[in-house]
Amino acid sequence: MTPPGPDAHRRARPGAEPFAAAVTGIGLVTAAGTGADAAWAGACGTGAAPSVPHLDELAGLPCDFMYTVTDADPRAVLGVAAQRLMDRFSQLAVIAAREAVADAGLDPSVWDSGRVAVVIGSAHGGLPFYDEQHTTLTERGARRVSPKLAPLTVVNGAASSVAMDLGVHGPSLAVSTACSSGTVAIGTAHQMLRTGACDVVVAGGAESVRSRLLIASACQMRAVSTRRDDPLAACRPFDTHRDGFVVGEGAGLLVLERPEHARARGAAVRAHVAGYGASSDAHSAVAPDPDGLGIERALRTALADAGLGARDVGHVNAHGTSTVANDLIEATMLRRVLGEHPLVTSTKAMTGHTLGAAGGIEAALTVLALQHQLVPPTGNLDAPDPAIPVDVVSKEARHGTFDCAVKTSLGFGGHNAALVLTRA
């Protein structure tokens, strides 16, 4: 079967009119930096080097290192009492949400809280606390298990914590589609705004999985890099010598608004989320469709949703995990759908693969790329894989002229998602 041509998605979808949600706020908490400016500098290679330490809790594993957030202290920001009622992924989400709302110029004390929603994705929720409490059960008995296990470990913990912290009374939703969770959360927010269900949505992803059990399993899958001698250089998307991803922690949230709501309050708009598409591979629990047809479907749907064509896209922030199969499948799909002209990058060498938070963090960086007309480099790309058929930005950030960018995400279980973002 011959795939549709590059602009086949221009065909109108019955009953659907293009809708662009205004991005008015960004909140970023990453190993590359906390705050939009610091994270952007880190992603562009002009900020501080990310922290990728060997961790005691991972000692003895083939991969005993992770990208960690070092410049955001939840206890100092949230207070001791509030911090104790959240797992770390929820703490990072609240910090990012506060920053995003402040960046948007919104005041939670006076907004119409019933018209505000929260949608936050996470792949694993509070897994580290679950691990800790399982150890407590086996070593110290049932009476020592914390009564806070359920509220701290459920995947909706971040959305719930952000809603309580901001006083949001509209819908509060959790999305869990593995590594595409953050992207699906933003797409869900886009759809909610389109229907008029709310005026403002705080959306994105949050994750922190300092879990020996999870990393041990990833090692057994051979999904993670084992470059223990140089953790900072281990994640190398699109490189000939890539050998797996490196897990990271963080949160990336956007404030999205209905355009008329943003205009009415005179908000500064950073960019627009113009289109969203999602699909399922229905292929494997862990491996992507080898032909990339699932993520292709999601991307074509997103472009159709935005009413844009392949030739409109100037930049792609790719999923780019640094695994052998994913990078080649995704890049081949991008060339097939978009051609050779977009500037492609993966920012995971600077943030780590933050799993359910990746889409939120990378969508925020894509917004900043549109604003700065600058594409961050793909870190550690020392020997570009000659089989990768797209223009991957390496070594230094590259200036461009583009009004449209794409964010793609793939998740275990075949969960694909794509966003189309446009310049304000």
Relative to beta strand 415-423, strand 404-411 is antiparallel
Residue among 315, 353, 404, 415 flagged as catalytic: 353
The structure tokens 């797992």 sit at: 87
Contact between residue 105 and residue 85 where contact means Cβ atoms under 8 Å apart: no
**Tally of CB atoms within 10 A around 9:** 23
Confirm whether 319 is a catalytic residue: yes
Amino acid identity of residue 47, one-letter, is: G
DSSP code at position 56: G
Query: DSSP string of 106-152?
Result: --TTTS-GGGEEEEEE-SSSSHHHHHHHHHHHHHH-GGGS-TTHHHH
Residue among 9, 315, 319, 415 flagged as catalytic: 319
Residue among 179, 198, 219, 235 flagged as catalytic: 179
- For residue 131, give both structure tokens: 């691990």
The structure tokens 């000659």 sit at: 386
Confirm whether 179 is a catalytic residue: yes
Contact between residue 224 and residue 245 where contact means Cβ atoms under 8 Å apart: yes
List the catalytic residues.
Answer: 179, 319, 353
